[in-house]
């Protein structure tokens, strides 16, 4: 499929969380219908989509009827079971493609891919058992961080090793699943590049944002990020390098550690990214629409920043401040319609525009 | 109901066209669910709402179950049958209230209301028959325009009378329905004020936009409008005057003719308004969200303009240019997902941001 989707076509979205919700709204702006595949009933994306297939990822009939009801399939998270993708792939194009998913689903594969591209990553080594860990710690040193190779997000599936005495406990936390030891990087700050690539190979990058995490969860993204002109162009070129290597279609998030000498790739995400939410109020075309445009073979839109923005995630009980934030000048609220509020759960975000600057 | 609606509450919207669609998206941003009442099946608003009651306005059971499923009722058009409102009103608050609807549903009532407030309108006279029309023409002169008192929109239900020889034909076009003769106003341009009022009486106005019509249909709105500082503050004060007189809750559109000496009220619309679509890309909080905030008893948001914008409606075959517009710099597209394209039908709009100006 390289012909542009016509208005009225249906875009299938795997995953019904907040990213699926905002993708669905963006699709509607371009006149597309959406169909969300999500096991949970009252999921955020279902509130703003045409259709909701409420089924599990191990239900082949549901996957088939979902695929047949749509024109193209995209997703809001990378940990989609391979078996589900195998079924969908026989019926409809999946964008971004399987290769991007295969690589980003496994931290080891991802790091090897990035290294092969000539990009810098934190030092890393595969850890399947205690012997591997001992060897890896010898090689990489402490402090280091042990991470499950698969299914990690928002700091989950990670254990710090400050001294070699922490090794046993950290390994126990991996519960026998394949893991990866990563060395610490002495970085001054983290930035991310949200980049899009269309089927014709054209690429558009949003301005890099600067991220602050708390407890493993993104807290704020500020644009513009603190980068000198060389770093800025390096960041964008590096993202384009990744997109081209994957023959990628859609939006990709690239997290980078900034060190005095170089940019180090922390991780990539083959989807719209929390650190790109600022684009909703800082650009004519935001990351969600840019993703839909690419997936639909439309021309990429104008993602230039017209306003400086600070995005703040509203996590758990942060939503108690909503009434107050709603009254703030320059503030644009985005709530996800989640029924239950839990600690660590992303409930919404606020984009604060900086007056008079851009 | 003056307590703010809590996230997860449901907002009922009468009418499933593009205004209902954009209201529904705005409601989702604040975490609300939406239920659309609309006889048409595949209507634009149903694509992005939680629930769609597909029923006619003369179906009392459907109206009752709609009202019972929601926490508050608003609407996207003013010509809602009174019998439907009577049913809903017994069950849920209707915002904006009945008085605003009563006045704006009838051009004569509206003009009398505005005049009583001390605002200027075009000269007018009620016309129920040929004798009335002759008297009105004597009094007002030509050129003039004969309009049905009710159910007119986008130039429909109007006939121009350039000389008294046109009178008979114009009256025939009214087909026996009560009408109004309006004198022409020698205005230089038309502007509109999109103003919002919350239940606590607080008011927020967007910057006035300058409108250009073609064939009775809005073609473009440009902000800022050509107004001197006095005219600008007069326009805003006048809108606030109307809102307060109606004890209004929600967004109201006020169309004004600009003449060298004064501002003349053309008409008011008790709802979000086509000439306010620019706010989607020019402000942190747009007219749709502002309306939902008022209806939900939330604080009004920051509607200050951060960018200059020209909004262009995409009417009928204008949508053939969509691919090209999608590639333009500074352009934000908004399509309505209408299945069929007809001449004169509003299919979408594009907001073009002016770079570097605000």
pLDDT digits (tens, 9 = 90+) for A221-258: 999 999 999 999 999 999 999 999 999 999 999 999 99
Q: Does B353 touch chain A (CB under 8 A)?
A: yes
We report the CATH number of the domain holding residue A159 as 3.30.1490.20
Does residue A83 sit in the same domain as residue A161? no
Q: What are phi and psi of B51, to 5 degrees?
A: -135, 150
Does residue B199 sit in the same domain as residue B278? yes
Preceding amide of B224 cis, omega within 30: yes
Whether pLDDT at B274 is above 80:
yes
**B1 domain-assigned:** no
Tell me how far apart the alpha carbons of residues B347 and B314 are, in angstroms, rounded to a whole number.
6
- Give chain B's mean pLDDT: 95
pLDDT 10s digits, A120-135? 999 999 999 999 999 9
The tokens for B36 are 């659309």
Tell me how far apart the alpha carbons of residues A110 and A246 are, in angstroms, rounded to a whole number.
12
Contact residues for B111 (Cβ-Cβ < 8 A; gap 6+): B121, B124, B180
**A108 domain-assigned:** no
Q: Does B302 touch chain A (CB under 8 A)?
A: yes
CB contacts, 8 Å: B307 with chain A: 306-307
pLDDT 10s digits, B11-43? 999 999 999 999 999 999 999 999 999 999 899
Contact yes or no for A316/A342 (Cβ under 8 A): yes
Q: Which residues 202-221 of chain A have a CB within 8 Å of chain B?
A: none
- Residue-level pLDDT at A264: 98
Q: In percent, how much of chain A has pLDDT > 70?
A: 98
**B78 domain-assigned:** yes
Which residue's entry shows tokens 């809001």?
Answer: A76
- Residue-level pLDDT at B358: 45
Whether pLDDT at B77 is above 50:
yes
- Residue-level pLDDT at B232: 96
Does residue B171 sit in the same domain as residue B219? no
Whether pLDDT at A187 is above 60:
yes
- Residue-level pLDDT at A252: 98
Domain span at A174: 123-183
Whether pLDDT at B320 is above 60:
yes
Does residue A324 sit in the same domain as residue A301? yes
Q: Does B304 touch chain A (CB under 8 A)?
A: yes
Q: In percent, how much of chain A has pLDDT > 90?
A: 92
Nearest chain B residue to A52 by CA distance is B50
- Residue-level pLDDT at B176: 87
CA dihedral B2, B7, B12, B15 (to 10 degrees): 120
Tell me how far apart the alpha carbons of residues A241 and B238 are, in angstroms, rounded to a whole number.
57
**B335 domain-assigned:** yes
Q: Which residues 14-43 of chain A have a CB within 8 Å of chain B?
A: 21, 24-25, 28-34
**Domain total of chain B:** 3
Nearest chain B residue to A293 by CA distance is B326
- Residue-level pLDDT at A151: 78
The tokens for B11 are 């907002």
pLDDT 10s digits, B92-130? 999 999 999 999 999 999 999 999 999 999 999 999 999
Does residue A177 sit in the same domain as residue A197? no
Contact residues for B171 (Cβ-Cβ < 8 A; gap 6+): B127, B129, B130, B133, B146, B179
Q: Per-residue DSSP letters for B304-348?
A: -B-S-EEEEEEEGGGGGGHHHHHTSTTEEEEE---SS--TT-EEE
Beta carbons of B28 and A50 less than 8 Å apart: no
Over residues B56-60, the mean pLDDT reads 97
- Residue-level pLDDT at A357: 47
CA atoms within 13 A on the CB side of A273: 27
Does residue A77 sit in the same domain as residue A39? yes
pLDDT 10s digits, A136-178? 999 999 999 999 998 776 667 899 999 989 999 999 999 889 9
CB contacts, 8 Å: A355 with chain B: 306
We report the CATH number of the domain holding residue A25 as 3.40.50.20
Does residue B307 sit in the same domain as residue B249? yes
**B110 domain-assigned:** no
Does residue A197 sit in the same domain as residue A303? yes
Does residue B194 sit in the same domain as residue B333? yes
- Residue-level pLDDT at B89: 97
Whether pLDDT at A90 is above 70:
yes
- Give chain A's mean pLDDT: 95
pLDDT band at B279, cuts 50/70/90?
A: very high
Q: In percent, how much of chain B has pLDDT > 70?
A: 98
Does residue A168 sit in the same domain as residue A193? no
Beta carbons of B329 and A304 less than 8 Å apart: yes
Which of the listed residues A77, A94, A111 is the one where a domain comes to its end?
A94
pLDDT band at B357, cuts 50/70/90?
A: very low
**B101 domain-assigned:** no
Q: Does A51 touch chain B (CB under 8 A)?
A: no
Q: Cα A221 to the chain's mean position, in Å?
A: 14
Q: Does B321 touch chain A (CB under 8 A)?
A: no
Spell out a b/e string for A183-212, using b for 16 or more CB atoms within 10 Å of the CB, else e: bbbebeebbbbbbbbbbeeebbbbbbbbbe
CB contacts, 8 Å: A33 with chain B: 47, 337
Bridging pattern class, strands B346-353 and B309-315: antiparallel
Whether pLDDT at A353 is above 60:
yes
CB contacts, 8 Å: B26 with chain A: none
Over residues B146-168, the mean pLDDT reads 86
**A100 domain-assigned:** no
**B105 domain-assigned:** no
Over residues A70-88, the mean pLDDT reads 96
We report the CATH number of the domain holding residue A297 as 3.30.470.20
pLDDT 10s digits, B236-260? 999 999 999 999 999 999 999 999 9
Does residue B139 sit in the same domain as residue B204? no
Does residue B85 sit in the same domain as residue B149? no
């Amino acid at each position: 499929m390289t012909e542009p989707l016509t208005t009225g076509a249906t875009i299938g979205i795997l995953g019904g969380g907040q990213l699926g919700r905002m993708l669905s709204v963006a699709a509607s702006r371009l006149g597309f219908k959406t169909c969300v595949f999500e096991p949970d009933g009252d999921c955020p994306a279902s509130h703003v989509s045409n259709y909701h297939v409420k089924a599990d990822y191990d239900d082949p009939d549901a996957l088939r009827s979902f695929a047949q009801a749509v024109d193209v399939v995209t997703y809001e998270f990378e940990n989609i079971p391979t078996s589900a993708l195998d079924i969908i792939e026989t019926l409809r194009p999946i964008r971004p493609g399987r290769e991007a998913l295969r690589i980003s689903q496994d931290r080891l594969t991802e790091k090897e891919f990035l290294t092969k591209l000539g990009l810098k990553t934190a030092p890393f080594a595969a850890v399947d058992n205690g012997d591997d860990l001992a060897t890896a710690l010898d090689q990489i040193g402490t402090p280091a961080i042990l991470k499950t190779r698969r299914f990690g997000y928002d700091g989950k599936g990670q254990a710090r090793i400050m001294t070699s005495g922490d090794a046993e406990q950290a390994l126990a936390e991996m519960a026998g699943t394949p893991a990866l030891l990563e060395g610490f990087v002495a970085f001054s700050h983290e930035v991310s590049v949200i980049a899009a690539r269309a089927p014709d190979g054209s690429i558009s990058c949003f301005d890099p944002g600067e991220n602050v995490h708390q407890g493993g969860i993104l807290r704020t993204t500020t644009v513009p990020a603190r980068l000198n002109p060389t770093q800025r162009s390096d960041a964008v070129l590096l993202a384009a390098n990744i997109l081209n290597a994957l023959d990628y279609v859609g939006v990709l998030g690239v997290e980078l550690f900034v060190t005095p000498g170089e940019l180090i790739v922390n991780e990539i995400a083959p989807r719209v990214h929390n650190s790109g939410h600022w684009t909703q109020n800082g650009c004519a075309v935001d990351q969600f629409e840019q993703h839909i445009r690419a997936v639909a073979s439309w021309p990429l839109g104008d993602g230039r920043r017209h306003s400086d923005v600070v995005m703040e995630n509203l996590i758990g009980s942060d939503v108690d401040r909503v009434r107050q934030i709603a009254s703030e000048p320059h503030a644009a609220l985005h709530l996800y319609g989640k029924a239950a509020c839990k600690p660590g759960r992303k409930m919404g975000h606020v984009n604060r525009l900086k007056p008079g600057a851009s």
